[in-house]
Amino acid sequence: MNPTLDQLCEQFGRLVGTVPVPSKPPVPTASSSVGPALGLPVAASGEGRVAGPASESGAGLRPADQAAKMAAHPPPAPTGPIQKTDHAAKGYDLDVTVAPTQIVMAAEIMDRAGFGLDAITGVDWLAQEQMEVVYDYFHPTAPGRVAVRTRVPRARPEVPTIAAVFPGANWHERETHDFFGLVFAGHPDLSPFLLPEDATFHPLRKDYQP
């Protein structure tokens, strides 16, 4: 049941391929950059933080086939919706950008692959009038860390809830709603969680005035 990164790329490719990713900087049409044609970022040995065995064995843990594809591709420009990132450089292995409506489907892919929900992070990009939500997934038995991110307009920050797929997301979403005012559609109870019961302000927004 342990998924390899490429199978995940397939599934996300089909998912993302269906709906072109709206916002983000000009994204080439989904069809061109999807699927295994992606170049693998070279897990450069010397550049890893700790010289010597640590990063070698770290890379060794990655699925064997990734080591096989050690073609010296320069890391792809960060435009494609699905990228494999080097764990030693970024901390996660797969970075997928999906449309807000596809969050639940992405969560189901992750659930079927046996991943666990790690964290839901809200980021308030005030300059671009957007709010970014990053879902982190870890796998209890297989290596591989996946970050699924989506962007919503700041005026109407609305993302469907994944509490049905991952019950643990219930609390993460309530907390992100507390801090950013992100409305998780379908969430059973979005009342203030870390803030006092009668709190109506959202402190982590960039334009929050105490």
Partner 1 sequence: MTSPADSAVRPGVNETFVLNLGPQHPAAHGVLRVKMTMDGEYVMRAEPVIGYIHRMHEKMGENRTWAQFLPNTGRIDYLSALHYNHAYVAAVERALKIEVPRRAEFLRVITSEMNRISSHLVWWSAYLIDLGGLTPLLYAFDDREKLLDLLEAVTGSRLTYTYFRFGGVYNDVDEAFLRGTRQFVREFRPRLKMYRDLVTDNIILRKRLENIGPISAEQCRKYGATGPVIRGSGVAYDVRRAEPYSVYPELDFEIPTRPEGDSMARYLVHMAELEQSLRIIEQGLDRLPDGPVLGKVPRVLRPPAGDYCFAVEAARGRFMVRLVSDGKDIPYRVKLRTPSFSNLSLFEETSRGMILPDALALMGSLDLVIPDIDR
Partner 2 sequence: MEAALDTSQIVKFAKLDDLLALSRANSLWPLTFGLACCAIEMMAAGGPRFDISRFGAEVFRPSPRQADVMIVAGTVNRKMAPAVKTLYDQMLEPKWVIAMGNCAISGGPFVFPGQYAVVEGVDKLFPVDVFIPGCPPRPEALLEGIMALEEKLTGKRRWPVVKPPQ
- Asked if 74 is part of the footprint of partner 1 (rule: CB under 8 A), the reply reads no
One-letter amino acid identity for 40? L
Whose tokens are 């991943």? That residue is 115
- Asked if 134 is part of the footprint of partner 1 (rule: CB under 8 A), the reply reads yes
Using CB under 8 A, which of the segments 57-65, 87-95, 104-112, 202-210 binds partner 2? 202-210
Which of the choices partner 2, partner 1, none does residue 210 contact, using the CB cut-off of 5 to 8 A by kind? partner 2
Name residue 82's beta-bridge partners: 96
Nearer to partner 2, 171 or 208 (CB): 208
Where are the strands (E) in the chain, listed by range?
A: 82-84, 94-97, 116-125, 130-138, 145-153, 158-160, 183-185
> H or E stretch including 23?
none
* Largest CA-CA distance found in the chain, in angstroms, rounded: 57
CB neighbourhood size of 202 (10 A): 19
Using CB under 8 A, which of the segments 89-97, 101-109, 180-188, 196-204 binds partner 2? 196-204
Among 53, 72, 207, 209, binds partner 1 (CB under 8 A): 53
Look at the chain and count its residues. Answer: 210
Nearer to partner 2, 173 or 178 (CB): 178
Could you list the residues that contact partner 1 (CB under 8 A)?
47, 49-54, 57-58, 61, 87-92, 114-119, 121, 123-124, 134, 136, 138-141, 143, 145, 147, 166-168, 170-171, 179, 192-196, 203-204
